[in-house]
Every structure is written in structure tokens, then in C-alpha cells.
Amino acid sequence: MSSSFTKRDFKDAAYGQMARLGKALASPKRLELLELLCQAGRSVEALAVETGMTLANTSQHLQVLQTARLVETSKNGRYVEYRLADTLVSNFFRSFRLLAENRLAEIEQIRRRFFNEEGELDPIDRETLLERLQQRKAILIDVRPANEYAAAHIPGALQIPLEQLKKRLSELPRNKEIVAYCRGPFCVLAKEAVDLLRAHGFRAARLEDGVPDWFAQGFPIATGDEPVRKHVSRAQ
Amino acid sequence: MSSSFTKRDFKDAAYGQMARLGKALASPKRLELLELLCQAGRSVEALAVETGMTLANTSQHLQVLQTARLVETSKNGRYVEYRLADTLVSNFFRSFRLLAENRLAEIEQIRRRFFNEEGELDPIDRETLLERLQQRKAILIDVRPANEYAAAHIPGALQIPLEQLKKRLSELPRNKEIVAYCRGPFCVLAKEAVDLLRAHGFRAARLEDGVPDWFAQGFPIATGDEPVRKHVSRAQ
DNA sequence: CAAACGATCAATTGATTCATTGAATGTCTT
DNA sequence: AAGACATTCAATGAATCAATTGATCGTTTG
């Protein structure tokens, strides 16, 4: 009765372990880090820049995620690359986000506030996109940084990181709708791309899916640096 | 530039909302409460007794879950019944548990420590169970409290709450294997049932699935108070 | 109406977590 | 070997969280 492993001990221990994961998910910044790592692994500094945190703070948050076994590291020279510990984590993170979107109406409000502020229309849905792509009425561009495209992208998507978009507008057809996607519904790259494209007279729309969403819906994904040439935009 | 809703504001707000859910999942006791509510709604007092917490503490944890919109309440007389806000929450909780089991090896150790301590063998798996049930070599009993059985149970399962098991041993056949299930892998009711049955000379095994697991695998579930009579055990 | 009871609230304690700072570690370059 | 650089560590104070206690609210029942 004294030192035995009781029912209560067992439950406390089991749920205590589960709570380790919960604690890792209890900070906005850690969630932002996780979402970035769902796109591609990267260095602490890159993550710090993306999230607007100091290096030390980023490092500590990453260590919390690592302690919860959600991410793992490898050392490349003097860089430490953090990446997801398992693709299971990416799937889980997606269902976590979906639960949040479903249960917390505030998220929809926040999104509306940001995306509709400047006249951004509703995003295009998967089915409409596929249809228009097949009819060659639209082309799809991936506006994330190059390394994320290399890690995984939607097959057939043209790679134009947002930072290059302005210079490469001539590569895009004016007689088609340009659909931009980025990391997912909380990422602003596609919105900025659409704003830029519209400002230059293109018809443009945003796809809310990120690569993990696309993949989770059963669609294929591609990897590697698909070399981008002029004719690729025609091949779309 | 001063009072506008920037990219950073948007991300902080969006991930901040997601973190509300994470925070709700960051406490062992709240996870235990959630798991109980995945079985059936119930009063604050019932939850306090099950989790071994004081009433006030239980109430506060439940309010945290409610603030995160994971559970909701209704008032019945002087009782307040808490229940899951959506079946989505149950599905999510299951994938959360699966992620924890998959990523945290400590959980498997804890489980082994508790279940193997007294010579408990490995649990029986779904497929084997279905096979034996069909061959009439086994019967399945649900050893959870009656209200949880009423809320949802595996079709064909005989309802024998653990507390009644000892008195109702005569209802069980000695020429078949008795398979007991309860709330899931972190629940100890089935283990205790199996221990009791074996102590009385029955062949008994534990099914690790709970009703939510069973349902998530695509199997049907039944509800209501299936009246249990002697002949039901033959009909199994 | 008064007593009993379920649940919540308010206030307190101690423990944990957060972001920041500056120092320390380890690795690459020259 | 020296310097530059990416990352981590350690220490600090502010903020948040967890559990307890006793009071309070609302409903039911005698």
C-alpha cells in the first residue's frame, strides 16, 4: 500500500506524459515554429528571423519542442538544423489547427479582419482550382522561399518565391488566373502575392491550403528543385 | 504603421488562439477529464470523484476546458452536466493520445510497469477478437459504469460494470474466453476485470480499445440501455 | 421558508513559465 | 592560433498557473 504503483499513480504518470505534449503546444511562438517546421527543416537563426524572436528565445522554444519529442536536430557545421521528428507530427499539427479553426470562432474573425481588410476576396477551393488548372484557365504558383519548395510542393506549381515575384511578373500569363499558395491559412505570403499581382493587373486568387493540407487530402506532392523555365508556365 | 493590423499582429493573434487549445491540453488532470468526457457527459461531482480532485479544483479545470470551447455545459436541476462540445473533440483527443503514445516512449514503459506487474498478458487485438466472437469462442463485456455503456458501447457487448462483476460471475460461460474492455489504454477497469475473472478460473483477456477507438476504426457503435438478461450471454 | 446540496467564486500560496540579458561553448575560416 | 559566428547555457524578474480554503450563489426538497 505504500510504495506500490497504484491506479492513481498510473493515471497520473500516463496523463502527465501526455501533458508534456500539451505544454509544448501551449505557446503561440512554439506553434508558429512548428508550422514552419512542417514546411521544411531549418536553422535556429532562420526560425528566429521568421518568427521575429531573439536567437536565444528561439533556441529555448525549440528545446521545449525537442523535449516533447516533436522535433529533432542534426548538426551541420556550425548550424543546427531543426526538423519534425516524424511526419505524424505534421498530420497531428494539421488536425490541431483544424480543431482550433472549428472550435474557436475568434480565428475566423481574425482571419477576416486581416484578409478582407484590403478587399481580398475569399480564397479559391481545391476543386475549383483543379478544374481550372485542367482547363488551362489558371496556373498555380508557390510563393514560399526556395528551400520549402524544394522540400515539398504541389506538383505542377511554378516556383516563384514572393521576394522574386515583382521581378518575374513577365513570366506570368495575363490571360490566365494566377493562383498563389504558401504555407497554409495562417501564412501571409500568398495574400501578399495576390495583392501584388492584382496591383499589376493580373487576375489572381489565393489557395488557402498549404502542402500538408494538400497532402492530407490525398493529393500527391513533389520534391526537389524543379528547374523553372519559361515554357513551364505554358505547360501548366 | 501605428495602429494597423500587421502580418505580425495577425500571426500572433492566430497562433495565440491556437495556443488557447494547447493550454487547455497542458494539464494532466484536464486530459483525464477530457478522456472521461469522451466516454459520456457527467456532473462535476462525478468527475471530481473519478479524478480524485476536490470539487472546486475540478470545477476550475472544467472551466478552463470550457473557455477553450472543448466542452460545454447544461444545467439539470442543481447538477451541471459537462460534455464534449463536439465529436470532433473526441476524434482529436484520440489522435492526440496516439501521437503521445507514438512519440513518448515513456508511456509504453509506464504502461508495461502497470499492466505487466501482476502477470497481465498483452491485450487482445481487434481482429483476433472479431474472429473469436464470430466463432463463438469468446464473449465481450463492457465493464464501465452503466451510464457510459448507455452513451455508447460496442454492439453485442454484454454490460457488466466492474463493481457488479463479482456478483454476476455466474452469468458468464466457463467454456469461452471473456474479453473485457473499458475506456481505453489508460483505463484500468478492464485490467481489474481480467484479474478478477482469472482469479475465479475464467479465461480472460483485455481489449485495449475504448469506444472512441473502436468507432474511429470504422466499426459501428450502439447506444441505449440494452437490457441484459441471462440469455444474452448465450446469444453472444 | 429553511435546510441541504451542487457548483462556482475569490483570495492565497507555491510552483512553473516567459522573455531578456550576457556569458560560454563549439565549429569553421584564415 | 585567432577571430567570426551559430547556438546554447545560466541567471534574472515578471507573469501565469495549480491547488487549497472558505464564502457565496442557485436550486431543490422537506
Confidence of residue B3 (pLDDT cuts 50, 70, 90): low
The CATH number of the structural domain formed by A7-91 is 1.10.10.10
Pair B183, B35: CB distance under 8 Å: yes
Delimit the domains of chain A by residue range.
7-91, 118-235
**For position A1, what pLDDT does the model report?**
47
Q: What angle in degrees, to the nearest 10, is found between the helix axes of A7-24 and B7-24?
A: 180
d(CA B198, CA B178): 10
Helix spans in chain B (H): 7-24, 28-39, 44-51, 55-67, 87-103, 105-115, 126-134, 146-151, 162-165, 189-199, 211-216, 230-235
The verdict on whether B38 is a catalytic residue reads no
Q: Is the CB of A99 under 7 A from strand D?
A: no
Please check the confidence at residue B141 and state whether its pLDDT lies above 70. yes
Please check the confidence at residue A230 and state whether its pLDDT lies above 80. no
**For position B226, what pLDDT does the model report?**
61
Matching residue, cell 455466474: B170
Please check the confidence at residue B60 and state whether its pLDDT lies above 50. yes
- Looking at residue B81, the DSSP 8-state letter turns out to be E
**For position B5, what pLDDT does the model report?**
85
Please check the confidence at residue A229 and state whether its pLDDT lies above 50. no
Contacts of A122 (CB under 8 A, 6+ apart): none
Which residues 149-208 of A have a C-beta within 8 angstroms of B? 186, 188
Whether B92 and A97 lie within 8 Å, measured CB to CB:
no
State chain B's mean pLDDT as an integer: 91
Mean pLDDT calculated for residue range B203-219: 94
Matching residue, cell 507514438: B102
For residue A204, the distance in angstroms to the closest alpha carbon of chain B comes to: 20
Record: fold of B115-235 = Oxidized Rhodanese; domain 1 (3.40.250)
Q: Is the CB of A66 under 7 A from strand D?
A: no
**For position A3, what pLDDT does the model report?**
59
3-state DSSP assignment of residue B62: helix
Confidence of residue B227 (pLDDT cuts 50, 70, 90): low
Nearest residue in B to A7, CA atom: B188
Pair B103, A69: CB distance under 8 Å: yes
Task: Name the least confident of A115-124, A143-152, A199-208.
Answer: A115-124
A3-46 pLDDT, tens digit per residue, is 578 999 999 999 999 999 999 999 999 999 999 999 999 999 99
Whether B89 and A99 lie within 8 Å, measured CB to CB:
yes
Please check the confidence at residue B50 and state whether its pLDDT lies above 50. yes
Pair B34, B68: CB distance under 8 Å: no
- Looking at residue B222, the DSSP 8-state letter turns out to be B
As a rounded value in angstroms, the CA-to-C1' distance for B83 and D27 is 21
Angle at the Cα of A96 (from A94 to A101), degrees rounded to 5? 95
Please check the confidence at residue A234 and state whether its pLDDT lies above 70. no
Adjacency order of strands within the sheet including B71-76: B42-43, B79-84, B71-76
Confidence of residue A236 (pLDDT cuts 50, 70, 90): very low
Q: How many CA atoms lie within 13 A of B205 on its CB side?
A: 20
| Class of the CATH-defined domain A118-235 | alpha beta
Strands A158-159 vs A138-142: parallel, antiparallel or unpaired? parallel
Are the folds of A7-91 and A118-235 the same? no
Please check the confidence at residue B231 and state whether its pLDDT lies above 70. no
d(CA A181, CA A122): 13
Please check the confidence at residue B162 and state whether its pLDDT lies above 70. yes
For C25, nearest residue by CA–C1' is A78
B77-109 pLDDT, tens digit per residue, is 999 999 999 999 999 999 999 999 999 999 999
Mean pLDDT calculated for residue range B175-196: 95
Mean pLDDT calculated for residue range B151-177: 95
Please check the confidence at residue B39 and state whether its pLDDT lies above 60. yes
Pair B210, B142: CB distance under 8 Å: no
